[in-house]
Structure 1
């Protein structure tokens, strides 16, 4: 890990997450359930280069935001998982998406999830974090909890169908 410039919490967070790709990778793992290198590479609408993806995944693992484990279905693949600190970025990404919707020229189909997250607020974020903990950490969700991931995907797909 590189030496830190200051102990300011905002500075430290920006040092970990402030490059062009780190939050996009976390976003794709969180909202796209992309867990393999190839899925992250080909599924990114922003067109990340493979060497950049490899570097950012390495950095996210080093910073403890992503874990890496062998894929039980394929000997030569690894599965990337969000860790608890990355899962706790849900409110940050919800606020970032809400800000982007208000101030930047977003596309409707890509903004619909941000809109749902903003409208759902902390209660929805908590449910989504519980679902991510189940998907990535193996922590069971409370019984009867609906899938926020499915709600977000359905809203996105409905917007795509509308066009």
Structure 2
């Protein structure tokens, strides 16, 4: 590919990615970046993120729950709190230990899973579904590039278990 085509390709990709980050929806039309929609991404700290619509749902993985044991208490962030990647998002306590939860991506909390206040055990029953922690808006989808897809996360877990 000659240099002018490389440059044009770079500009097109840059513009497309910039629009995706700031305008994930256009008045009810399909999400512009279908590659990330509905997929789960995992951090090395065992948090997961799933993009649904213009929100990123955050939780802890089944592996993290298995390591912690029975969850007895969950500290959740406040709605409208802003986080950058790596900020302390909350904490989970179990009969065995406690663990801080770190934000796997940057964003603004749009919703917390209020059911966890009365039933923290939902995380044990369904850590990657009903046991979600919070939802973020205004997230930067490019931060998902530093996370693992499900296959890569399973390989990572196999290494940890050795």
Question: TM-score surpassing 0.5?
Answer: no
Q: Greater strand share, 1 or 2?
A: 2
Higher relative contact order (CA 8 A, sep 6+): 2
Greater fraction of residues in helix: 1
TM-score range normalised by the length of the shorter chain: under 0.3
Which of these two proteins has the greater Rg computed from alpha carbons?
A: 2
